[in-house]
Amino acid sequence: MDRVNPGAAGVGTDEGDRVTARALVVQNGRSGPRRFATWLAEHDVELDVRHPYRGDELPGTPEHDALIVLGGGYLPDDDARAPWLAPVRDLVGAAVESGSPYLGICLGGQLLAHVGGGEVQGQYGTPEFGSTALTLRPEAAGDALFVGVPHDPTAIEHHVDAITRLPAGAVWLASSEACPYQAFRLGDSAWGLQFHPETTPERINTWSQASLDRHGLDRAELHDAAVRDDARAAGIWQQFAARFAARVTGG
């Protein structure tokens, strides 16, 4: 497990940097919280990153101020290949029930949909890879995290599975041309995203060549387009991360 607290964390005092909140991050594969670690630390949120796929233990009940679940190449109930997903589902359910801030990214968003009674299907619809145009729905204007996001942001995508039905009572926040359910909120403090606001264009350079070839994609083209779009997107998602941090710290 890693405790991620880049040097900018907190507000400097005579007693050193101040950390006011801790978020548990469940990392389901090689890709970690990346720039979200820095962005959240700038607003007094320290990350406790656990790698259950490598054997890190997860708490049986929530012990942190927030929960963040990252992506991975599994369906939410793929317990045969990823047996740690069962306790992750329990944690997600506990976060929703308690109202603790939750942010689910890609698989993490699909887990929220699954736990809430929605539906996720494997290899459904058109896969999305690279920088993707999103469209915010009118409901986003009143959402605590999306309120400052432009109507037409971009974000990096990397998925072949998709949410096909939102949980009852969920607030639908964003879509894309190929994937309707790009973002939603369940309750007041749990958000599910299909896209990756935390990642950077450089991540594209690590994607499986076999997978790109299978979908007829050119890595260089994907990377160059993501770099162009990230000149605008990085600032958008940095402010998004700041608003999530405010939910965590009560700021």
* 70 vs 197: CA distance, rounded Å: 11
Which residues are bridge partners to 19 per DSSP? none
User: Of 46, 128, 157, 198, which residue is the catalytic one?
Assistant: 198
Q: Shortest CA distance to 86 belongs to which of 127, 124, 114?
A: 114
Q: Shortest CA distance to 168 belongs to which of 96, 250, 80?
A: 96
| Cβ proximity of 54 and 30 under 8 Å | no
Other beta carbons within 10 angstroms of residue 180's beta carbon come to 16
Amino acid identity at 66: A
Q: Are strands 190-193 and 183-186 parallel, antiparallel or unpaired?
A: antiparallel
Q: Where are the beta strands (DSSP E) in 41-83?
A: 45-50, 66-69
* 43 vs 25: CA distance, rounded Å: 16
User: Of 114, 159, 196, 223, which residue is the catalytic one?
Assistant: 196
Residue reference for tokens 């539906």: 119
Amino acid identity at 185: R
Strand, coil or helix: 42? coil
Enter the tokens of residue 226.
């993501």
- Is there a catalytic annotation at residue 198? yes
| Cβ proximity of 193 and 102 under 8 Å | no
User: Of 46, 64, 106, 179, which residue is the catalytic one?
Assistant: 106
Active site residues: 106, 196, 198
